[in-house]
């Protein structure tokens, strides 16, 4: 698949370069004559109108380049944080321990394990325990 995408990109670049060169050469036709605006009407002026074959070649080359770039792009990552972090932590690089004992897998693990990090789940659990203990002591 990568070879086909690279081939599409190369063919698209060649066609685009040819279309640009053709458009440039076509625009030089106006400068070759003495006064093109006196002899030709506005719709026939080479500086204002581009032949349909050059326009179609330009569109075709851009389409080839777009398809080639899309096919050569890497796979998309999951949007949800939990899936991305789970894939990252299960990877081989996550098991490698870097300097100071920090694993290389999850870049945010260091932030979540810092001492001053407030854990809302732990706070909710502690609040639930406090409420159940308070209701037990109030009923007796």
Asked whether residue 37 carries a pLDDT value surpassing 60, the answer given is: no
| Contact predicate 124/136, CB 8 Å | no
Asked whether residue 46 carries a pLDDT value surpassing 60, the answer given is: no
* d(C-alpha 20, C-alpha 61), whole Å: 11
Angle subtended at Cα 75 by Cα 72 and Cα 76, rounded to the nearest 5 degrees: 125
Residue in the block written with tokens 């204002």? 48
pLDDT tens, position by position, 19-31: 999 999 988 875 6
Which pLDDT band holds residue 47 (cuts at 50, 70, 90)?
Answer: low
Length of the chain: 140
């Amino acid at each position: 698949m990568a070879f086909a995408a690279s081939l599409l990109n190369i063919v698209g670049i060649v066609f685009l370069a040819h279309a640009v060169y053709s458009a440039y050469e076509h625009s030089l036709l106006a400068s070759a004559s003495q006064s093109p605006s006196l002899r030709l009407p506005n719709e026939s002026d080479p500086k204002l109108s581009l032949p349909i074959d050059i326009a179609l070649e330009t569109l075709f080359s851009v389409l080839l380049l777009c398809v080639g770039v899309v096919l050569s792009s890497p796979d998309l990552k999951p949007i949800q944080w939990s899936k991305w972090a789970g894939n990252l932590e299960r990877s081989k690089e996550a098991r490698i321990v870097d300097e100071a004992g920090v694993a290389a897998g999850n870049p945010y693990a260091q932030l979540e394990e810092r001492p001053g990090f407030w854990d809302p789940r732990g706070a909710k659990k502690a609040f639930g325990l406090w409420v159940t203990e308070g209701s037990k002591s109030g009923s007796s």
